[in-house]
Chain A
Amino acid sequence: MSFTSPGFYLLLPAACIVFYWIPGRLRGIYLLVLSYAFYAAASRTYLVLLIVATATSFAIGLGIANARSETAKSRLMWLGVAAIVAMIVAFKAAGAMAGFLLPLGISYYSFKLISYLIEVYWDDEAVERDLVVFFLFPAFFPQIVSGPIQRPEAFFRQMREIMGRAASDAQIEAGFRFILGGLMLKLLIGDRLADVIVIIDGAHGDFTSATMAATVACYTLQLYADFAGYTNVALGIGKLFGVEGPPNFNAPFAAVNIQEMWRRWHMSLTSWLTDYLFTPLSMSLRDMRRAGLVLAIMLNMAIIGVWHGFILNYLVFGLLHGVFLATTVLVLAATRARGPVVAGGLAGAAAAGAGRVLTFGLMSFSQIFFHSGTWDQAISILAQVAGVGPSGSLTILDLGPGVALAALVCAAIALYVGGGAPGARWAAARLDGLAPRWLQYGVCAFLLVVLSDAGGAKFIYGGF
């Protein structure tokens, strides 16, 4: 069952009402049953895998907390982490070679379980002894499809709270708003851009080099609308059940360099990797100074790449970002070493603007590899954009004036929202004075139903 299917939204309010109607202590079990039913609707076989992985992590977590010696704790932690990593690697490798579908959410729930084992290893008190609360952590249905990857402590604490308190009106309204906004971003912006991208990709040799360059920029905008849209829906559904999840995006297009962009893009994954991979790795390599730092960055980004799937395009995407990021970090360090940088007024604004354009350009360049299904496709698009490959004479206007205008409007909205939607708060406050909230939501829901084509909608990150 998909977060874009109308049927899901018929069941969701009922599931939510029952959740707050039953006694608090039963809410955990109820949510676990809901989550497993949601998972079973996709695959019963892989539900067994999820349960086995959860039970194993639960037992190993208890083992780490109860172990007396540091060596025993360390061995148990490594055993658990290695088992989970082996599970992801086996499925990703088999997926890449045989082309079969990955178990739903495996990339997300396995990362949740790994973080739990490492946290317990770092601090015995992080251990969770409540079976229901623990089993819910990886399975929690709003986050299972594509994250966000929540940390154990934040989830356990909120689950315990919701079992002892009444529904919060403000949280439920926020949940509703997030779902509505997320669906609009995904279905009305992302999917409309995707329609145009599919047409142009299919015959890219017939289009001009400039049209192809604009299409590549749209890869970034579409991915943002799709994934940020999904994340808002997931966060919104979580809120309906009393859980505040971690954000994935914080105005990524406002970033003035690639280092800042990675702090604003797929944040739940990047902060996970920073804590559990990059920091330990750079600590181990700290005696190598700069070379160690560059090595840690390259490894970290390569893993971000192949986390999406074991194909060459994703590895190249990761390595490209490794080079961008390492260069940025070294250049920034060298600039700071020369003295404090003070650039105000017009010069500062121009530098920030140029930084934003360059950052967006680098991201879009890497998207050629991320977005293209095959290596050959990526190389041929790259050559075309660079003006050295075969190009045609068609432009986006040849797809019809309506298509061109719709693509332009959708791209502009995605760029505006992803740039932090400047002025939106001010406008929303004014709008609240003009029309009641329920009317605003009603209009949004109406637009969603009228303008969207939810029939075959799939989330890009549901495939990872």
Chain B
Amino acid sequence: METEEIKARLTPIFRDVFSDAALTVTQSMTANDVAKWDSLSHINMIYAVEKAFGVKFSIKDARSMKDVGELVNLIKKKVG
């Protein structure tokens, strides 16, 4: 799966989880850039992404993601 395709699929998930209809996912986006991205919504986001892409993240994965770019790479690796 290509980076752009993953990002395009992530945007509606992020809009829903972080209740922000204007949000567009970028590679360098972090929790600091999104008002409602906190420890609680982070887990919701992980869960939603897992369901949408049919992947499973470990605790270590969820913790070590520093920005959306790393999430995209992780999805790429897991989807194959």
Contact = CB atoms under 8 A, between A and B. Distances in A.
A459 B60 CA distance: 37
A293 B40 CA distance: 8
B43 to A, nearest CB: 5
B61 to A, nearest CB: 9
A286 B46 contact: yes
B74 to A, nearest CB: 14
Using C-beta atoms within 8 Å of the partner chain, give the interface range for chain A.
Answer: 10 to 19
Interface stretch (A272-280, A313-321, A359-367, A402-410): A272-280
Contact of B63 (A122, A284, A289): A122
Given A122-B60, A329-B40, 15 more contacts: A121-B60, A123-B64, A274-B39, A275-B63, A278-B39, A279-B42, A280-B59, A282-B43, A283-B46, A283-B57, A283-B59, A286-B43, A286-B46, A286-B47, A336-B19
The majority secondary structure among interface residues of chain B is: helix
A283 B19 contact: no
A433 interface: no
Interface string B20-51: 00000000000000000001101100110000
A274 B43 CA distance: 12
A340 interface: yes
22 contacts: A121-B60, A122-B60, A122-B63, A122-B64, A274-B39, A278-B39, A279-B39, A279-B43, A279-B62, A279-B63, A280-B59, A280-B63, A282-B39, A282-B40, A283-B43, A283-B46, A283-B62, A284-B59, A286-B46, A293-B43, A329-B40, A340-B19
A122 B47 CA distance: 20
A216 B69 CA distance: 50
List of 10 A-B pairs having minimum Cβ-Cβ separation, nearest first: A280-B59, A282-B43, A286-B47, A283-B59, A274-B39, A283-B62, A336-B19, A122-B63, A286-B43, A279-B39
Interface of B: 19, 39-40, 42-43, 46-47, 57, 59-60, 62-64
Nearest to B58: A283
Nearest to A276: B63
A286 B19 CA distance: 20
Interface in A320-341: 329, 336, 340
A393 B57 CA distance: 62
A417 to B, nearest CB: 26
Contacts of B60: 121-122
Contacts of A122: 60, 63-64
A123 B66 CA distance: 12
B71 to A, nearest CB: 14
Interface in A29-48: none
Contacts of B63: 122, 275, 279-280
A315 to B, nearest CB: 23
A440 B62 CA distance: 49
